[in-house]
Amino acid sequence: MKQLLQHLVARVLRTVGGRVLAVGFAMAAVWTIATACHILDANNPDVVPTGGLNDPLALPTIRAGAIGDFGLAYTGSGASGSGGTVEGQVLASGLLADEWINTETFPDRVQADARQTDRASGTFTAVFRNVARAHLSALRAADAYRRLADTTKTTALAEMLVLAGYSRLFFAENYCSGVPLSYPNPDGTVAFGDQNTTDQMLDSALVLFDQALAAAQAFIPASRTDTLVNKPTFIALATVGKARTFLDMGRITDADTMLTVATVATSFAYSIQHDLNTTRQQNGVYSGIRKFKRYGVANREGGVGLAWQDSLDPRTTFTRSPGTNKGFDNATPQFDQLRYVDEKASITLATGLEARLINAEAAMLRGDLAGFKGILDSLRARPPAYILAGVQATTSPGNAPAPVSPMPPLAAPASPAAAVDLLFNERAHWLWATGHRLNDLRRLVRATGTRGGYGRAENTVFPNGPYFKNGLNYGTDVNYPIPLDEQNNPHFTQCLDRLP
């Protein structure tokens, strides 16, 4: 039991033959399109002797391990076979929402797609553990930078704090209320964490983003010692994370106030990058859909899901090639997404595009429908450069999808309800396959006045009715449960609630 929980809380470093190997070698790149700059800034990680972990020279490897663990939690991996972890939060959250449908046979994924999540699921226990591992990896890396580096000369501390903050956001946005945060002690025992309500998880994420923002602002470019990018980029990264937290709290005015064009340019994007060095470093969304065919692009799922296929929107392109292509179950028509077209495709975590969408939502809620429409039309007329350049799609020369061309302006919404429809439709297409959709559906059905809720009936938002395989009907789950093995934690009982 003890070993099982220690795996759950996820050590950042794995001991191998008396030496310590940093877990996770995927790199992150910050894409600063405005200056046409693409920097892959982490050194190649290496095997570090145990005693060297307190040496400043180990910091690049510690940072790379934290980024790799976060990438696995967020985007998944290219691990092969049913025993490998393919999905991260992008696939898992989209499966419970209306972005993806199940195209294979594994019962726990079928049940999740049918909104009947299983606490004992091995697949989704691994997904949960990977977020816990990412959270601890980032916190430990931040602690290492505080102890071993002059944090006025590096932006890595801000980056690590942001990744820890996003890990908590994943718990708040995609899981039930009551997630505990446990920590390993130096002697190998576990400091069992108490359960956190969703509000408490958001509050704690906000603290981390505030710390990240302070660290980014304290950075002195003239005295820099690292090879990371400029100060405004990391201020923007922390600002978008903080604003997303405010949005989840229902503090839309605070989010809007932070997100000025001067602070977060529309061209800003922070991406998790992938490569072919190991399957762990490959893009899990590409692998889960196009390589292993366990997921496919949905279309009006459960009668109320978004018409991802029928809309023929250039931001959410897909293919069925050949025309007889079927999923792993050899029965379900396989429609593949085309945003990420190979294993090396990068996936954005925080963007200026998301910032403008939050600005638009704030305008809508204060009754400025002209300003609201103006922001959305501006994005359509000038799609952000990282969409145009294919940065969100691939790093392989000659293998990028067609860029998104300017799109016509939107029709003016005829009512407040129509404006909400328009907003969430634009969010769905711009933020497709980046782990936003489940939380947006939850916001739509959440009670008005509660954490940014819009009070819509669940059966008008989430897929419902007869499920398309195994004779199932859609259930009522709007989030993932905390895995069963967390009951090893004496402070945990079960989800505090499964409310949106």
Separation of alpha carbons 298 and 202, rounded Å: 30
| Residues 346-373, mean pLDDT to the nearest whole number | 97
pLDDT tens digits, one per residue of 75-92: 999 886 555 668 999 999
| Residues 242-263, mean pLDDT to the nearest whole number | 98
pLDDT tens digits, one per residue of 287-326: 999 999 999 999 999 999 999 999 999 899 999 999 999 9
Beta strands in 141-232 (DSSP E): 179-180, 183-184, 190-191, 195-196
pLDDT tens digits, one per residue of 369-406: 999 999 999 999 988 876 655 444 455 555 555 667 89
Give the per-residue SS3 of 448-493: ECCCCECCCCHHHCCCCCECCCCCCECCCCCCECCCHHHHHCCCCC
Pairwise pLDDT comparison (21 vs 212), residue with the higher score:
212
Domain edges within the chain:
2-488
Pairwise pLDDT comparison (351 vs 6), residue with the higher score:
351
- Under 8 Å CB-to-CB from 368, ≥6 apart: which residues? none
Most confident of 187-191, 400-404, 413-417: 413-417
Q: Which two tokens stand for residue 326?
A: 């079927």
Separation of alpha carbons 323 and 286, rounded Å: 19
The full DSSP string for 27-49 is -EEEEEGGGTEEEE-SPPP-EE-
- Checking if the pLDDT of 179 tops 60, the result is yes
Q: How confident is the model at residue 153 (pLDDT cuts 50, 70, 90)?
A: very high
Taking the CA atoms of 56, 60, 66 and 69 in sequence, report the sign of the dihedral they define: negative
Q: How confident is the model at residue 226 (pLDDT cuts 50, 70, 90)?
A: confident
Q: Which two tokens stand for residue 187?
A: 């002697």
Q: How confident is the model at residue 359 (pLDDT cuts 50, 70, 90)?
A: very high
Q: What is the pLDDT of residue 328?
A: 95
Q: What is the pLDDT of residue 404?
A: 76
- Checking if the pLDDT of 1 tops 50, the result is no
- Checking if the pLDDT of 187 tops 80, the result is yes
- Checking if the pLDDT of 232 tops 90, the result is yes
- For residue 322, cis peptide bond before it (omega within 30 degrees of 0): yes
Q: Note whether 473 and 467 are within 8 A (CB).
A: yes
Q: State the average pLDDT for the chain.
A: 88
Separation of alpha carbons 63 and 43, rounded Å: 9
Q: What is the pLDDT of residue 46?
A: 54
- Checking if the pLDDT of 19 tops 50, the result is no
- Checking if the pLDDT of 256 tops 70, the result is yes
| Residues 330-357, mean pLDDT to the nearest whole number | 94
Q: Which helix (H) or strand (E) holds 271?
A: strand 268-272
pLDDT tens digits, one per residue of 422-474: 999 999 999 999 999 999 999 999 999 999 999 999 999 999 999 999 999 99
| Residues 13-27, mean pLDDT to the nearest whole number | 29
Strand partners, 22: 13
| Residues 349-368, mean pLDDT to the nearest whole number | 97
| Residues 111-124, mean pLDDT to the nearest whole number | 96
- Percent residues over pLDDT 90 in the chain: 76
Tell me the Ramachandran region of residue 449: left when phi exceeds 0, alpha when psi lies from -120 to 50, beta otherwise. Answer: left
| Amino acid, single-letter form, for residue 280 | R
CATH architecture under which domain 2-488 falls? Alpha Horseshoe (1.25)
Report the predicted TM-score, pTM, of the whole model to 2 decimal places.
0.89
Task: Write down the residue that tokens 């916190």 correspond to.
Answer: 139
